[in-house]
Chain A
């Protein structure tokens, strides 16, 4: 089975530009998570969805960040406008809900560099 798919794998952009990160979860998984990894803050949750509905977006840093999940097989994380401090690795993860299915499987990440 294909794992979590993220695109692009690398993104270099200039400050002020819009950035869109994409994620395809594992088929059948009903939870989707967006995490950000930086040297300073480590791995932190940005937002997560259950059955395409956002459950907790308290980790989204500010209004410049938005996430959508229009269907069970696709999610986007958008940064507009981007700033140098947004440079990080962004991970998408998915999992099944229900007892004994709580393991989150991570995608390969998108390395974002904002100049």
Chain B
């Protein structure tokens, strides 16, 4: 069974600074996807970024980037130029790719990291 661990229950950062959230996972699978979702106080789950395990290049989305270390099973999220609107719970999630072409699997979530951006 796959597990996802987020070892930082809470973090804080000053506005405009950079913060890195950690995530490790355990799996014997070779084909999978990794995601970071953001959950602001509204409780809406919002996709931040995703990474395909077969890609060596780290995914980036504007101020958000990941450091994907497949051998170490590590998937950290870096937020640059932090903004007040980045205050939220951040969830790391794993999804196994099924054997038959491109089919879905369910997301397995970590417990989350509560990020506070301070003015």
Contact = CB atoms under 8 A, between A and B. Distances in A.
Given A42-B112, A43-B91, A98-B101, A105 B47 contact: yes
A104 B109 CA distance: 13
Contact of A42 (B46, B50, B103, B111): B111
Interface residues of B, number: 24
Most buried by B among A42, A48, A50, A103: A42
Given A42-B111, A42-B112, A98-B101, A106 B106 contact: no
Main secondary structure of the interface of A (DSSP, over half): strand
A31 B91 contact: no
B47 A99 contact: no
A115 to B, nearest CB: 20
A95 B104 CA distance: 8
Nearest to A42: B111
Given A109-B43, A109-B44, A102 B97 contact: yes
Contact of A106 (B33, B45, B111): B45
Interface string B6-47: 000000000000000000000000000101010000111111
Contacts of A50: 103-104
B102 interface: yes
Given A48-B104, A102-B33, A43 B109 contact: yes
Contacts of B91: 43
Contacts of B42: 108
A48 B95 CA distance: 14
Interface of A: 31, 33, 35, 42-45, 48, 50, 56, 89, 91, 93, 95, 97-106, 108-109, 111
Interface of B: 33, 35, 37, 42-47, 50, 91, 95, 97, 101-104, 106-112
